[in-house]
Amino acid sequence: MPIDQDERTTAGALERARVMSQALADAARRARFSTRSRRALASGGFQARRGARAMRMFRIATFALVVLVPSIGAAAYYAFIASNQYVAEAQFTVMGGEVPAPDAIASMTGIPAAAIIQDTQIVTNFIESRAAVEKLEASVGLRQLYSGGDIDYLARFDPSKPVEKLVSYWRRMADASIIMPAGIVDLKVRAFTPEDARAIADSVLDLSEQLINDLNARMNADAVRDAEQELQRTAERLAAARAALEKARNDQGVIDAVKQADAINKLATDLRGQLARMQQEYDAQLHAVLSTAPQMRTLKARIEAGQAQIAELEARLTAADPAESSQTLSNSMTRFAQLDLEHQIAERLYSGAAASLELARLTGEHKLMYLNTFVRPVAPQEPRYPKRILYTAAVVVGSLAAWGALVGGVAVARNHMA
């Protein structure tokens, strides 16, 4: 019995030793894990990853290149280098000599009629065109004004560049916009001195007014030329009608067929009256005198002569035979009526063309369009451009946005590769 009790005691001691050993091993592992965690947290979460130092250097370098250098450069440029730009402003309208009737859109919205808007757009498009640039170059020396040596390098124009580049540069320095609904043209011209800005704006207004005058002259010349051509055409038609009428009179030997026919009718009527009286006299005497008596033969001869004369006059007026109708006054009257109608039409057309020509000439003395400048350009007293603080802030914000996008993209790629 004592031996069994000792064996149980020894087995219990071994079991307790095994459990104790396992507990100590677990405690040691937990202690090692806790030490690594504290060391990693104490030294930073990214240091355990490979390339953390390179990533930190990349952020610093890109911040300097993308943010600091452009921001400092922009601040230095706009603070000490950028040239002042002055703006001369003018406002004008393009109006017609007669107030046009409002169309449907103008009646509902109050916007000027399409004709006025079209004329205004012609002027604004001309201001930004190459033709205007070439005329400004000839009048004020536009290339020289924008390429002075006192202008900073980034803002001035290179005088060696072609005219197409000068046109693009001019479109950045000048702006002509239409203010609705009044249709007012707002002109803004930028230059590097107040006097240059005012001089260029004045020259632009002069060129715009010259354009309007040229358009007026062209429209008036076209109207007068068309009226003169119409007058010439109607004059030729009138001359042809007169010649045809004169030829018909000469061919027929009749000046006025209507008057001649009236005269023949009157003569025939008188002869019929005389014939009736002679016939009555003949019938009355026939009861007392023989028909062979001399006086009766004479009266009979007179009656026959009257009848023949009446028949001749009637034959001159009309003809029963169509082959002989061309020699009658009725045919002449028909022909003369047609020629006279053509002559009257030609005269009326000629009179209308002459009146149109006179009206075109009178209209040409008035302007169909004119430029109404109610705000003249003046020399500005302070520069409006560049907006130094705003532009510098825009560069800083843009640089920060670009740097953030770059660093974020690289970080995402690095995490994806890890």
* Residue 250, token pair as written in the block: 């000469």
DSSP state of 85: B
Task: Give 397 or 258, the one with higher predicted confidence.
Answer: 397
| Mean local confidence (pLDDT), 151-174 | 93
List alpha helices for 82-129, DSSP H.
104-109, 114-127
Task: Give 215 or 189, the one with higher predicted confidence.
Answer: 189
| Mean local confidence (pLDDT), 129-141 | 94
Alpha carbons 332 and 264: distance in angstroms, whole number: 14
Lowest mean pLDDT: which of 73-82, 180-189, 275-284, 369-378?
275-284
pLDDT band at 361 (very low <50, low <70, confident <90, very high): confident
Q: Which pLDDT score is estimated for 13? A: 64
Cβ within 8 Å of residue 53, ≥6 positions away: none
Q: Which pLDDT score is estimated for 287? A: 74
* Model confidence pLDDT, tens digit, residues 256-304: 656 666 666 777 787 778 878 888 877 777 777 777 777 777 878 887 7
| Mean local confidence (pLDDT), 57-62 | 90
What is the sign, positive or negative, of the torsion defined by CA atoms of 389, 391, 394, 399? negative
383: preceding bond cis by omega (within 30 degrees): no
Amino acid symbol at 131: A
Phi/psi for 151 (5° steps) reads: -90, 140
189 with 204: CB under 8 angstroms?
yes
* Residue 367, token pair as written in the block: 């302007």
pLDDT at 3 over 80: no
* Residue carrying structure tokens 């859109």: 105
Amino acid symbol at 378: V
Q: At what angle do helices 294-317 and 257-286 cross, to 10 degrees?
A: 160
Which residue from 180, 133, 124 is spatially nearest to 157, judged by alpha carbons?
Answer: 133
Q: What percent of the chain has pLDDT over 90?
A: 38
Phi/psi for 185 (5° steps) reads: -90, 120
Helix or strand run (H / E) with residue 374: strand 369-375
Task: Give 248 or 227, the one with higher predicted confidence.
Answer: 227
Rg of the chain on CA atoms, in Å: 57
DSSP symbols for 18-80: HHHHHHHHHHHHHHHHHHHHHHHHHH-SSTTSTTHHHHHHHHHHHIIIIIIHHHHHHHHIIII
Q: CA–CA distance from 269 to each of 73, 260, 310, 332 (Å)? A: 119, 14, 9, 21
* Model confidence pLDDT, tens digit, residues 213-225: 888 888 888 888 8
* Residue 385, token pair as written in the block: 């451009």
Rounded to the nearest integer, the mean pLDDT of the chain is 80
Alpha carbons 70 and 398: distance in angstroms, whole number: 10
* Residue carrying structure tokens 């000839």: 138
Alpha carbons 111 and 116: distance in angstroms, whole number: 10
Beta bridge partners of 179: 184
DSSP state of 82: P
Which pTM was predicted? 0.61
Cβ within 8 Å of residue 241, ≥6 positions away: 339, 342, 343, 345, 346
Q: Which pLDDT score is estimated for 129? A: 94
Of 45-49, 55-59, 111-115, highest mean pLDDT? 55-59
Alpha carbons 227 and 221: distance in angstroms, whole number: 10
186 with 176: CB under 8 angstroms?
yes
Beta carbons within 10 angstroms of residue 203's beta carbon: 19
pLDDT band at 317 (very low <50, low <70, confident <90, very high): low
Q: Maximum distance among all alpha carbons in the chain?
A: 221
Q: CA–CA distance from 401 to each of 234, 349, 394 (Å)? A: 78, 78, 10
